[in-house]
Structure 1
């Protein structure tokens, strides 16, 4: 008996305490505690602006003659599906939603591995944001076909297809195009319908247009590095911010102002004549300096998606004759190609890993002196940071539960590869450091949260352990009783 009690005190009791401690520290409430808002957002949601750009207040009548030669919505849909079949080896076609009147918002993805996650930057083009600015839908289809036809023939086409994922949405506003007006079927200007950083009036997503919600969901699903929306009515590359806090017309640069000016210059300098503009120096402009708008798409992309978006005005005339479309395509062709290729040719690229497991982690990257951050992908831990070349930068990689690492680089004209291996900081538990996959949480193969499954497992083992202890105690009590009172055996006579 004393021996059994000693075994209980020395072995079983500590083991029981260890199991209890491990079980309670593994409960899923610990995982929930590590959530919270992304501090990089820095804004509240807002209502689509009631402000407008005076430059585009004119509403010229769009005649039947003007529309002749442009693809209708049904013809554009046929062209997109035809492209998907013809270029199936380097593309896929998918929809991100529907317009007010039910027209699908078709997207063409171009890559050597379309539809697959890769440690590569992603770029998106969006056309026809305003219904009466249809040039983008025509030019973007020309771009798609050119990349398909010139893959493995032209070095620039091959670079883009093999090293990026390019997503093309030819029309964001098919209803406005059909109605020949700026707004959508509800007559809402879609480029005033996004949450605004300066005027957070309406936070309810349900009051936004379906086309706007589709874009917002799309950006949350894809890990876009950069983007461009094609407009008409001027010839200039516009960059954030698009408005200012006091609503005055003034230069109001965002934290990555140098990087945006570099991107805009890449487009302008590659254009046939954009950089020669007499109205805009170098063919580029800050949006707030040109004329402020609120609820614009490019600012929302940058703030909430970490996506560097430009607004490209690619035609002086909003609805030019169809006979001019081929010329406009040729004038913008190299600009579009060079803008996408700049994601690979310049900037800092790399991956973030955990030192203890060697696995990629979805950390974040910041640059000292620039009040913005970008996040690495959840699948591969890859990041792609756009920076203006020819300068020195101090780059910092971090993630909750790990010790941040920083290094200083000199970024030349070419891109730089820079991986980070982060050491666990020792203060956070393992549950805070598990890499996440694309479901947005720490998951195992069947998608069930790992921490919850682990907690269930330990609770199960705890119950089994208690049952085993009770069984052993019961056996010991029965054995001691039998030793004191042995049963009487029958005697043969």
Structure 2
């Protein structure tokens, strides 16, 4: 069957069977290499490894009806987001980052005090419904959006988040899989295995990736995220990088920022109603490769290629619980979600990188001595936001080609620290100066910029000489005109007064 015919067939299926399709696969969210029993008592094996027999058609349709009852359709979700945006238009906006295989828009809602504007603030993203048969995340994220809308300027945590963070919420990354009730997308691809992998050369060709994957990758190029989390179902644990191992064996594989990731995962787990009490995972957290290795996963790609610290959050033991349980699941996860986003403003190191000549912003690289990981200051505002574990000593290093490196040792407390860098050019420009506008009087640490345009020193000298010549010439013309007028007055005949 050609690709065109296949897509047409899937489109017709999507229109005619909104609530009828494949029974959700009973593998856990990340695709573990093991079988388990779901809430309906059905025993299954991992996705893509072995096939299973489908239930009889009658039972199959009954189960789909039962599972879908009370959950939003894709149309319902889009409508709910637009209604919410109109209700909270001063602190929110909605936009799309692309479309699914079957053309469903991937809607995102942003919350901030100035939504859509670039500010020197960290950005966080939530991504739900990565797997089509794990719909809890999309419902919980809409409840989070409504809570923020209702509680801004009423609840201190809601106010802190909206005033100091740009929060982006993508409720459904896989709307086709949700409608078809399959783990993968409409092309039967597991989107959490479709990203480029650091250990093995898979998914290297951009054209071969799924449109949903491409949308996420393009999103990270357009928006610089400090941290993020994807929501899954089938377990109850906060998972952190690395997700894979070079030898394909199951063991702990720490990434350079292992301490920071453990801190983030523990923050979520401890804030959750009972995640930290897990008997399977100590403290309710796990290193991905220690749990079971996966390749082509989204969280590792975010960290490596976007400098974005992403967690994979398994927020429900049941992949598709009854809709009546959603409010309880929301209450259990509420504080974990809020505290994780708020941590971007409440902890870590934040600042700007500026040039000593004219105070221009520099998109420099920021690193920590002893940690083989760097982040980059933004291109326009040169602001950076570095997540670190509180209570430790760090040496922060700023580097930029054409400038001298600068480092500062800090003791990071429990609260966020502001740390600006001013870098000197390796070859100073003639006529350059250090502006007194670099540090504003209000001490917000964000820096300012002089009004003088950035001009190289040699050109500045030529400009000064040219201005002097012009001023002398203008003075000469003015004096000549004054003298000429006096001369004319002295030679004109005097008029006599007539009575």
Offset at residue 63 of structure 1 (A): 2.2
Matching of residue 54 in structure 1 with residue 54 in structure 2: no
1:424 aligns with 2:403: no
| CA displacement at 1:195 relative to structure 2 | 0.2
SS of the counterpart of 1:88?
A: coil
Alignment-derived partner of residue 170 in structure 2: 169
Does structure 1 conserve the Cα–Cα contact (< 8 Å) formed by 2:194 and 2:296? yes
Partner of 1:254: 255
Please tell me whether the aligned partners of residues 401 and 427 of structure 1 are also in contact (alpha carbons under 8 angstroms): no
Equivalent residue number for residue 342 of structure 2: 341
Contact 2:362-2:379 within 8 A present in 1 as well: yes
Contact 2:239–2:311 (CA under 8 A) maintained in structure 1: yes
Q: Secondary structure at the match of 1:125?
A: strand
Bigger mean CA offset, 182-191 vs 193-202: 193-202
1:136 aligns with 2:137: yes
Distance in 2 (alpha carbons) for counterparts of 1:429 and 1:188? 59
Corresponding residue of 1:272: 273
Q: 2:326 and 2:119 mapped to 1: Cα distance?
A: 34
Aligned to 2:213: 212
Cα distance, 1:55–1:147 mapped onto 2, change above 3 Å: farther
Q: Which runs of 5+ in 1 are unaligned?
A: 1-50, 431-449, 455-493
Residue correspondence of structure 1 range 43-82 to structure 2 within 5 A: 52-55=31-34, 57=45, 62-82=63-83
TM-score computed with the length of structure 1 as normaliser: 0.76
Show CA shifts across 1:71-100 (max 9, x none). 001101111111111110100000000000
Cα distance in 1 between the residues matched to 2:143 and 2:31:
31
Q: Distance in 2 between matches of 1:391 and 1:227?
A: 23
Indicate whether 1:321 and 2:326 are aligned.
no
CA distance in 1, matches of 2:74, 2:102: 12
DSSP 3-state at the match of 2:279? coil
List runs of 5+ in structure 2 lacking aligned partners: 1-29, 36-44, 48-53, 55-59, 432-454, 460-499
Q: Does 1:383 align with 2:384?
A: yes
**Is contact 1:237-1:285 (8 Å) kept?**
yes
CA deviation map 1:455-482 (0-9, x unaligned)? xxxxxxxxxxxxxxxxxxxxxxxxxxxx
Alignment of 1:288-327 (within 5 A): 288-327=289-328
In the other structure, the counterpart of 2:450 is none
Correspondence list, 1:313-462, <5 A? 313-426=314-427
- Give the aligned partner of residue 111 of structure 2: 110
- SS of match in other structure, 1:63: helix
Runs of 4+ in 1 over 6 A off after TM superposition: 427-430
Contact 2:269 2:336 in 1 (8 A): yes
In the alignment, which residue of structure 1 is the partner of 2:443?
A: none
| CA RMSD of superposed structures (Å) | 1.9
- Report how many aligned residue pairs link the two structures: 383
CA contact (8 A) 1:176 1:182 kept: yes
CA contact (8 A) 2:31 2:46 kept: no
Secondary structure at the counterpart of residue 366 of structure 1: strand
The correspondence of residues 2-151 of structure 1 with structure 2, limited to 5 A, is 52-55=31-34, 57=45, 62-151=63-152
- Which deviations, in whole Å up to 9, do the C-alpha atoms of 1:129-169 show, x marking residues without a partner? 00000000000000001001000000000000000000000
